[in-house]
Amino acid sequence: MGSIINTQQVINGLQLGSIYALIALGYTMVYGIVRLINFAHGDFFMLGAYAAYASFYVFNSFIGEGSPLAFLVLIVAMIAGGAIASLSNLLAYKPLRYKPKLSSLVTAIGVSMFLEYFFSAFPFIGPSPRGFPEILPKVIYRGFGAEISNYVIIDLVVAAILMSGLTFLIQKTSLGRAMRAVSQDKDAAKLMGIDVERIITWTFAIGGAFAGAAGLLAGLTYPRIDPYMGIIPGLKAFIAAVLGGIGNVPGAMLGGYILGLAETFANAYNSILGDGIAFAVLIIVLLVRPTGILGEKIADKI
């Protein structure tokens, strides 16, 4: 067991978990507010990675390497993720808002395909994977029998900052209050004068921005990006959100880290197990406790 669960694996697991948590938050927020699994969410993650890639090279000529550049790249990645999320909502999801749920789901699949193939087909972006630039020089620290790179710290810190920021937003600001109201009862919120569509747009934007940030972190940590890189992480992050309780924000964070750790340990044992563990988690959750760890039961009136 020692070779599977040790300090190094825990560190790797938390690192992976940070990325899953950030992506999972977007899924859970959107589901909480419009009851839609946004299939394209993983592709916002991909977009963030590419936006970061592009902006690095663009800004590198003006600003030298180092923290200010990295910070700028992060902002760009988040804006890109948020923008494409809002755009998808506006063009593809909003028109189908009051139609049967399945139509939105299928459209989301279409948006996902579109983004993946578009980026694959577009000249200069292309289908081949690209190596992600070293935006900040990698430094490796050794201690406690493990290697910790500064990337790990960046992943954990950025994730922590974003997640605390989100928690503050949701609990303490009027936007957050409105978001909570809309996710509980859209019609009641409308009656209280809340511009529901505007809140939905913001939710998509924030979720997309987080996915974009995750894209940057993923590019940094696992420096190979390609237009299809969002499919599997997107699926896994969704599973993380379900694990924590779909629609529940702290649940998404919790689920992300649990899944990150579980996958890292499983992978150390056997790589097929590593790929399959997320899926096994999904089946178990859906059979044993479909509302997730922190989720609440929503009763169906029969």
Does 275 participate in binding other proteins (rule CB under 8 A)? yes
37/78 with CB nearer other proteins: 37
Strand partners for 225? 130
165/290 with CB nearer other proteins: 290
DSSP 8-state class, residue 137: -
- Do residues 243 and 285 make contact, with C-beta atoms less than 8 angstroms apart? yes
Does 282 participate in binding other proteins (rule CB under 8 A)? yes
166/281 with CB nearer other proteins: 281
Does 289 participate in binding other proteins (rule CB under 8 A)? no
Residue type, 173: T
Q: Tokens at residue 237, please?
A: 């992050």
27/56 with CB nearer other proteins: 27
Distance between CA 236 and CA 132 in Å, rounded? 22
User: Distance of alpha carbon 179 from its chain centroid, rounded?
Assistant: 19
176/233 with CB nearer other proteins: 233
Does 71 participate in binding other proteins (rule CB under 8 A)? no
- Do residues 89 and 204 make contact, with C-beta atoms less than 8 angstroms apart? yes
Distance between CA 89 and CA 91 in Å, rounded? 6
Distance between CA 101 and CA 219 in Å, rounded? 33
8/291 with CB nearer other proteins: 291
Q: Which of 63, 66, 99, 289 binds other proteins (CB under 8 A)?
A: 99
Distance of closest approach, residue 7 Cβ to other proteins, in angstroms: 29
Task: Name residues contacting other proteins, limited to 218-257 (CB under 8 A).
Answer: 228, 231-232, 235, 238-239, 242
Distance between CA 175 and CA 198 in Å, rounded? 10
Residue type, 116: E
Does 96 participate in binding other proteins (rule CB under 8 A)? yes
Q: End-to-end alpha-carbon separation of the chain, Å?
A: 49
Does 131 participate in binding other proteins (rule CB under 8 A)? no
Counting Cα atoms < 13 Å in the Cβ hemisphere of 126 gives 6
Q: Which of 4, 63, 106, 140 binds other proteins (CB under 8 A)?
A: 106
1/302 with CB nearer other proteins: 302
Counting Cα atoms < 13 Å in the Cβ hemisphere of 164 gives 5
CA distances from 34 to 23, 27, 70, 204, 243 (A): 17, 11, 34, 10, 19
Does 57 participate in binding other proteins (rule CB under 8 A)? no
Span interacting with other proteins, options 54-62, 66-74, 166-174, 272-280, rule CB under 8 A = 272-280
List alpha helices for 61-133, DSSP H: 67-88, 101-121
Does 286 participate in binding other proteins (rule CB under 8 A)? yes
Q: Which of 63, 109, 139, 192 binds other proteins (CB under 8 A)?
A: 109
Distance of closest approach, residue 302 Cβ to other proteins, in angstroms: 6
Would you tell me which residues interact with other proteins (CB under 8 A)?
36-37, 92, 95-96, 99, 101-103, 105-107, 109-114, 116-118, 120-121, 123, 126-127, 228, 231-232, 235, 238-239, 242, 271-272, 275-276, 278-279, 282-283, 286-287, 290, 297, 299, 302
